[in-house]
Chains A and B, each alone.
Chain A
């Protein structure tokens, strides 16, 4: 079965620190990879997408993809309390549906 795995957390980091969120996926034909942020009771909000090996930076966020290791990560620099949320890793595999992980809950404390 095609799976996306994430540590459920919570991951607790102090304000200003780097938060590192990790995700592994099972299907080697996966094509596109997404990080969504979800606040409690709200819908997923796209933060980053990546589909080539390497790093992709957007402001305080960096997505890293390693297809050989079937691993994708999200770094959040200068973490703020407003970054406290659940971060969902999602993967397009062989169709256009998204397979989501269970999410990692991030807590940024002042």
Chain B
């Protein structure tokens, strides 16, 4: 079964450092997303991406965050200057179509720890 692949599985970084989280969506999917889940809290939407541009972003997705699809297969989330409160599981997801009743496929996640 096709998978969404995320690397690394765990990243530890110092406050103020830049991190890049990587994702390889399912090959025939067109819509890409980043979500995060702070420990013990709900899964929260960060950003959706379609046709090489951001289609929607949440209030969380401020100027410190950016997304890119640099080479037609990878989909990356960059956090420019990490804060302690950025510590969370970050999930990439992809979907074949918008408002797809089949839902998204989530990757296995990257646990980001900011110290």
Task: Give residues 20-60 of A contacting B (CB, 8 Å).
Answer: 31-32, 34, 36, 42-46, 49, 51
Confirm or deny: A92 has a beta carbon within 8 angstroms of a beta carbon on chain B.
yes
Asked if A98 meets B41 with Cβ closer than 8 Å, knowing A46-B105, A49-B102, A92-B99, the reply is no
The 8 Å CB contact of A96, one of B31, B41, B42, B105, is B31
The stretch from B13-21, B43-51, B69-77, B80-88 touching chain A is B43-51
Give the docked Cα–Cα distance between A102 and B99 (Å).
21
Give the docked Cα–Cα distance between A32 and B33 (Å).
17
Confirm or deny: B98 has a beta carbon within 8 angstroms of a beta carbon on chain A.
yes
Chain B window 16-41, contacts with chain A (Cβ cutoff 8 Å), 1 for yes, 0 for no: 00000000000000010101000001
Q: Report whether A95 and B41 are in contact in the complex, using a CB–CB cutoff of 8 Å.
A: no
Confirm or deny: A13 has a beta carbon within 8 angstroms of a beta carbon on chain B.
no
Q: Report whether A100 and B44 are in contact in the complex, using a CB–CB cutoff of 8 Å.
A: yes
Asked if A96 meets B106 with Cβ closer than 8 Å, knowing A32-B99, A44-B43, A103-B42, the reply is no
Chain A interface residue count, Cβ-Cβ cutoff 8 angstroms: 23
13 inter-chain pairs at a CB distance below 8 angstroms, sorted by A residue, are A32-B99, A34-B103, A42-B109, A43-B89, A43-B91, A43-B107, A44-B91, A46-B105, A51-B101, A96-B56, A97-B45, A102-B41, A102-B42
18 A-B pairs besides A88-B43, A99-B45, A102-B42 with CB distance below 8 A are A31-B99, A32-B101, A43-B89, A43-B109, A44-B43, A44-B91, A46-B105, A49-B102, A96-B48, A96-B56, A96-B98, A96-B100, A97-B48, A97-B56, A98-B45, A100-B44, A101-B42, A102-B41
